[in-house]
Amino acid sequence: MSALTGEDAPPQAPRQHYLNVTYGVRSWLLTLDHKRIGLLYLASITVFFLLGGMFAVMIRAELVTPAGDLLQAETYNKMFTMHGLVMVFFFLIPSIPAALGNFLIPLMIGARDLAFPRLNLLSWYVFIVGGLFTLFAVVQGGVDTGWTFYTPYSSTYSNSAVAATAVGVFITGFSSVLTGLNFIVTIHKMRAPGLTWFRLPLFVWAHYATSLIMVLGTPVLTAAVVLVALEHLLGIGIFDPKLGGDPVLFQHLFWFYSHPAVYIMILPSMGVVSEVISCFSRKRIFGYKVIAFSSLAIAVLGFLVWGHHMFVSGQSVYAGMIFSFLSFFVAIPSAIKVFNWTATLYKGSISYDTPMMYAMGFIGLFTIGGLTGLFLASLAVDVHVHDTYFVVAHFHYIMVGGALMGYMAAIHFWWPKISGRMYPEGWGRFSALVIFIGFNLTFFPQFILGYLGMPRRYHAYPDEFQVLNVMSTAGATILGVGYLIPLIYLIWSMRYGPRAGSNPWKAKGLEWETTSPPPTENFLTTPLVTEEAYAYAAPDVEEQEGARVG
């Protein structure tokens, strides 16, 4: 399995790399190396993922029986609120961009670091401060508004720790903006010689589109949070009808950010899938430019469709029709991506390594998630399924089946680069299968529940919904196990995994031309790019001239 022709010697780790160049807590907490900052993010979001997962366990355990008997209603409401908050703001939004994007973008474009390394470290600290406020809210007794914070419940009626949570979300927003800004400048200004825009890996294109949303969308959420605070503290009538405000205005502001935020979560995963699919079919990606532009199209269209969350909110019938019309347009770039990925497999040389298993899982589940989005964009059907489990199922297919599958693909694909070691492949494939099965068993029954009419955020429910809920909880149990397996073997592999070598997948892309793990400065000499991305048909660089570094 050696990556080098005619050599059977096992790959060796480079003598010095970013992990062993310095030691000690200080060297990590004050690091300006984008790779170490990426790992700081990776560790923090893993903690948040486990926390969010524990809330999910409580939710699914409660819903095994129709009566609200395990938790009190108030506790249950806090569980689903904090599950949503933690998973959205502290796991999914930072997941691929802040952890892996941070690590990979400079490597992929042949740069030494991001454009603003200090800003990068600051954004992690801002993220942590925001996270601590939210954890403080949990300790204070939690928050029960739903992650959507709808007014006037959140601003006037809830007795839970809304303020601390809102401050947490407010602060975390700045971390997103800083990361997005850093990526945009880096991608514009720091590409290696010869790396033109249309030679960029699609992972970088996806992050460019994501960063645009982060920079343009997040301030609106921040503004909405500030307005809630102003109303709460100074009694200025903005959302509360008793003060002359309009509660629906909050929904407009919230979804103006939070719908595009869905694309912050899914676009980076789409970038990952483009990399993985082409690597494991050893094929140039089919329709490179179309995929690149469809990412931008999704980013732009994402800002025009927020009103589809509000078809039954009392907004005008005509506004509903326009938002429905525009929402359908998002289906087109999404469909284009799916077709192009599938076409990339055609006449490829396909291997079934773990990242590829996740990427194929992504395509399938994202297809279902995307198509069920059509139900929600169609006005008459949405009236029935809005705020039911159908919506819950749909967005979990996108966010877990899509975004999280992409994240898992990415972790496995770049793990050799990050850690310098291989994870156990058999366990990797096994857990990918477990996750796929567990996921579908958890969320598919929820589509049926939703059309039957079970509203979301229900602590207790009528008896006839029990069977489907039990199935869902059974699936969630399998899913939970599926996530724990990689957590164990990845940690194990950091010490005991076989050495990876600089390019274990024979992948294309600058990040594979440097050592695993890479040196602090990424490349010993500035790389010169002479070919397009995914030039898998061309012979390996290494085969021509031997390994360039290490």
Partner 1 sequence: MWEFPLFPEQASTIAGGVDSLYLFLVGLTAFFSVLIFTVIFVFAIIYRRRSDDERPEAIEGSHALEIFWSVVPFVIVMVIFTWGASLYFRNARSPDDAMEVNVVGKQWMWKIQHPEGRREINELHVPIGRPVRLTMTSEDVIHSFYVPAFRIKMDVLPGRYTTAWFEATKAGEFHLFCAEYCGTEHSKMGGKVVVLDPPAYERWVGGEEQGESLADLGARRFIELRCENCHYPGAGERGPSLAGLFGRIVPLEGGGTVEADESYFRESVLNPRAKVVAGFQPVMPTFQGQISEEQLLELIAYVRSLKAPQGEGR
433 binds partner 1 (CB under 8 A): no
Fill in the DSSP letter of residue 512.
Answer: G
Q: How many positions of this chain bind partner 1 (CB under 8 A)? A: 99
Say what the alpha-carbon torsion angle 534, 538, 541, 544 is, to the nearest 10 degrees. 180
CB nearer partner 1, residue 3 or residue 479: 3
Which amino acid would we find at residue 65? T
Cβ atoms of 439 and 404 closer than 8 Å: no
Mutual angle of helices 162-189 and 202-234, in 10-degree steps: 150
Q: Which residue of 59, 71, 216, 367 would you call a contact of partner 1, by CB under 8 A?
A: 367
229 burial (CB, 10 Å; 0-12 / 13-18 / 19+) is middle
CB nearer partner 1, residue 466 or residue 477: 466
Min dist. Cβ of residue 241 to partner 1 (A): 3
Min dist. Cβ of residue 527 to partner 1 (A): 21
Min dist. Cβ of residue 153 to partner 1 (A): 4
Piece in contact with partner 1 (CB under 8 A), picked from 97-105, 253-261, 464-472, 473-481:
464-472
Tokens 């139900």 belong to residue = 375
Piece in contact with partner 1 (CB under 8 A), picked from 120-128, 370-378, 400-408, 517-525:
370-378
Min dist. Cβ of residue 449 to partner 1 (A): 10
User: Which residues between 173 and 212 bind partner 1 (CB under 8 A)?
Assistant: none
Structure-block tokens of residue 140: 């204070």
Min dist. Cβ of residue 397 to partner 1 (A): 11
How large is the C-alpha radius of gyration of the chain? 23
Q: Which residue of 70, 71, 345, 541 would you call a contact of partner 1, by CB under 8 A?
A: 345
CB nearer partner 1, residue 21 or residue 335: 335
What stretch of H or E contains 321? helix 317-345
Contacts 24+ apart (CB under 8 A), 542-545: 542/3, 542/4, 542/503, 543/5
Structure-block tokens of residue 250: 């909050």
Site string for partner 1, 522-541 (x = CB under 8 A): -------------xxx-x--
- Tell me, letter by letter, the H, E, C secondary structure of 179-203: HHHHHHHHHHHCCCCCCCHHHCCHH
Min dist. Cβ of residue 534 to partner 1 (A): 8
CB nearer partner 1, residue 148 or residue 502: 148
Beta bridge partners of residue 499, listed in sequence order? 421
230 binds partner 1 (CB under 8 A): no
Min dist. Cβ of residue 81 to partner 1 (A): 9
Three-class SS of residue 421? strand
Site string for partner 1, 126-155 (x = CB under 8 A): ------------------xxx-x-x-xx--
Min dist. Cβ of residue 485 to partner 1 (A): 23
Nearest to 478 by CA among 430, 424, 441: 441
Piece in contact with partner 1 (CB under 8 A), picked from 105-113, 162-170, 337-345, 492-500:
337-345
Q: Which residue of 125, 197, 339, 496 would you call a contact of partner 1, by CB under 8 A?
A: 339
DSSP secondary structure of 91-149: IIHHIIIIIIIHHHHHHHTT-SS-S-HHHHHHHHHHHHHHHHHHHHHHHTT---STTTT
Cβ atoms of 522 and 38 closer than 8 Å: no
CB nearer partner 1, residue 66 or residue 498: 66
28 binds partner 1 (CB under 8 A): no
CB nearer partner 1, residue 10 or residue 193: 10
Beta bridge partners of residue 455, listed in sequence order? 388
User: Which residues between 70 and 129 bind partner 1 (CB under 8 A)?
Assistant: 73-74, 77
CB nearer partner 1, residue 22 or residue 313: 313
Nearest to 134 by CA among 118, 149, 153, 151: 149
User: Which residues between 272 and 331 bind partner 1 (CB under 8 A)?
Assistant: 281-284, 286-290, 311-314, 317, 320-321, 324-325, 328-329, 331
**Residue 341, CA distances (Å) to 186, 369, 385 in order:** 27, 16, 31
Site string for partner 1, 502-521 (x = CB under 8 A): --------------------
